Structure 1
Amino acid sequence: MPTHTRPPVAVQDALPLAVTASEPEEVAAVEFAAPEAGPTRYTLLPSPIGEILLTGDGAALTGLYMRPEAGWERTAADWRRDDGAFAETKRQLAAYFAGELREFSVPLAPSGTPFQLRVWRTLTTIPYGRTTSYGEIAARLGRPTASRAVGMANGRNPISIIVPCHRVIGANGALTGYGGGLPRKERLLRLERSTARTAAPGSATG
């Protein structure tokens, strides 16, 4: 399965942002499925932040990538384009970009080490419109000195946006490296913050 890495990027304070705690809007961690065996299915999706590559195993989403993330071009001969298999994911992403959805409900099956999976599950508890730091995530995992390891795991998150690694920023409020590029990270955070001020919590319907 493809993974993406975060290229070295200088710390930038583009918004600036404040690191916000996750209470009182605690979000339950998403339970991940184990990826199923078989050829990877994929589709391409236009979006307000550029073309998105979705990958899946036929039952769950295994990847969401944005150019120029590494992993985008790592398609194999046995990959199968299957636009219909991602209809619900596309619907929810469209609602998210329209500011109408805060919590995704598509099944997820990322591939990673046990530590990476723990970090990614913790990312899913960061509420919409909020941000946190690598150090805070490390502390929540019971490993307060593991900020660097958390940052590396965050950078290898294969399901961008839905597993919201864009909500992790520097302890000083600075935007840090993002696989999809800092302009996209800033745009996602601005979307969520502007929507959070005007909309009630909840998922999109119908």
Structure 2
Amino acid sequence: MEMLRAGHETSSTILALTLFELAKNPEVQDKAIAEVDAYFNKNGNLFYESVHETPYLNACFNEAMRLYPVLGVVTREVMDDYTLPSGVSLHKGIRIHIPVYSIHRDPNYFPKPLCYQPERFLGEEKQNILPYTFMPFGDGPRICIGMRFAMMMMTSALMTLLRKYSVELAEGMPRELIYEPGGFTTQIGLKIRVKLIPRQ
């Protein structure tokens, strides 16, 4: 039950941020809608396998999570003494803070880091992502156990919406977001407002 409670706020936040970026980037939205239409033309209804049959939607979510990671910092406890390649020594028992937000926006790892480009997570481009530079759910043995549940929930919601609607930014909605300081998870400092346009 705790996983369901913890997963709903984070998943709904990423879904809203994905819609925000799709509204800002109509060419990306067109590709997402085309994939949704192709899926429903083939299958008729939503099934669990839709998560695996919609790689472009997954890439849209991944790129939103890269730009706006739910956990901007991940904290871990060092289990054994370890020396980093830089020569810095980490002693057993200390806590280290991994700056996920900064890593996700580092141009050394993601060229044009402020641009929303889902293609980073497709095909050969995906192979260019270095290990431990993309960690929206953490990584390693302590990776979030709700990752698959979150992706399934967000995919089914976005597919249901894009099947009938396209999205635009609502009037007065800024194109850049501000953050609410002090939150454990990423908190946007304003309501994300998009306009749903019925598709013909």
Bigger radius of gyration among the two:
2
TM-score, structure 2 as length reference: 0.30
| Larger RCO: 1 or 2 (CA < 8 Å, sep 6+) | 1
- Name the one with the larger helix percent: 2
User: TM-score scaled by structure 1?
Assistant: 0.29
